[in-house]
């Protein structure tokens, strides 16, 4: 059974699990990060949404007995949404709470408070843009390994690049220099590696 067939087998329940997991994960992680950083309000997080969707979909698949990857179809859309969405975060300035720490790099930007900062939103946009290009090439070539593991590779790549950018953000930390998103990203990386190691050939 191919990816589309597995999603069809899941029916409406699959869609509900996907959307519910993304909403819960996005708001819970985003809000928790704000609180840990001493900021009041309700937050949203694309990393939290991805992790929440993964957890609920994998649980749903286990209950329904659906085996194999179902995420490949979402790879281009997710990479594109991050690539474009981070520009929106950048233009939102300080109020978006996704800005970077002060930096003396030549491309540092002033978001209105007189402090030159790392444009971390653009770092992430560029990183996911590069992944999107590579993914589209591999999909066009019907690369067997990517067809089987593309979603897991995306989770690993997204988690790894985001893990690095988190060191350039002024968020409250949990352990040492690591904030909440470091742990979310580590979970995404672990998930991808674990799923690939289980059955790297299944498409």
**Tokens, residue 158:** 């997204």
Q: How far apart are CA 68 and CA 48, in angstroms?
A: 23
The parts of the chain modelled with pLDDT lower than 70 are 1-2, 4-5, 8, 199-203
Name 102's bridge partners: 117
Say if 73 falls within a structural domain.
yes
Q: Are 200 and 146 in contact (CB under 8 A)?
A: no
pLDDT recorded at residue 199: 66
Say if 203 falls within a structural domain.
no
User: What's the domain count of the chain?
Assistant: 1
CA distance 174 to 195: 27
8 Cβ contact partners less than 8 Å away, ≥ 6 residues apart: none
The DSSP call for residue 119 is -
Contact 168, 159 (CB under 8 A): no
**Per-residue model confidence (pLDDT) at position 198:** 84
| Any domain includes 184 | yes
Q: What's the pLDDT at 67?
A: 86
| Residue 164 forms part of a structural domain | yes
Domain that holds residue 88: 3-198
pLDDT at res. 33: 96
How many Å apart are CA 42 and CA 71, to the nearest integer? 28
Is 103 inside a domain boundary?
yes
Distance CA 78, CA 5 (A): 20
């Amino acid at each position: 059974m191919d990816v589309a067939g597995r999603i069809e087998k899941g029916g409406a329940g699959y869609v509900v699990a996907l959307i519910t997991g993304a909403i819960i994960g996005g708001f819970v992680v985003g809000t928790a990060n704000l609180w840990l950083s001493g900021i009041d309000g309700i937050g949203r997080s694309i990393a939290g949404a991805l992790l929440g969707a993964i957890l609920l979909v994998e649980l749903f698949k286990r209950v329904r007995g659906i085996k194999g990857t179902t995420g490949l179809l979402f790879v281009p859309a997710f990479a594109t949404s991050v690539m474009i969405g981070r520009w929106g975060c950048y233009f939102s300035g300080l109020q978006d709470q996704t800005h970077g720490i002060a930096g003396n790099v030549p491309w540092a930007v002033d978001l209105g408070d007189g402090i030159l900062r790392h444009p971390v939103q653009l770092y992430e946009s560029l990183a996911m843009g590069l992944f999107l290009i590579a993914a589209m090439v591999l999909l066009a070539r019907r690369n067997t390994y990517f067809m089987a593991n593309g979603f897991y590779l995306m989770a690993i790549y997204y988690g790894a690049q985001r893990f690095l950018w988190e060191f350039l953000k002024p968020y409250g930390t949990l352990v040492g220099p690591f904030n909440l998103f470091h742990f979310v990203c580590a979970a995404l990386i672990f998930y991808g590696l674990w799923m690939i190691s289980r059955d790297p050939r299944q498409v």
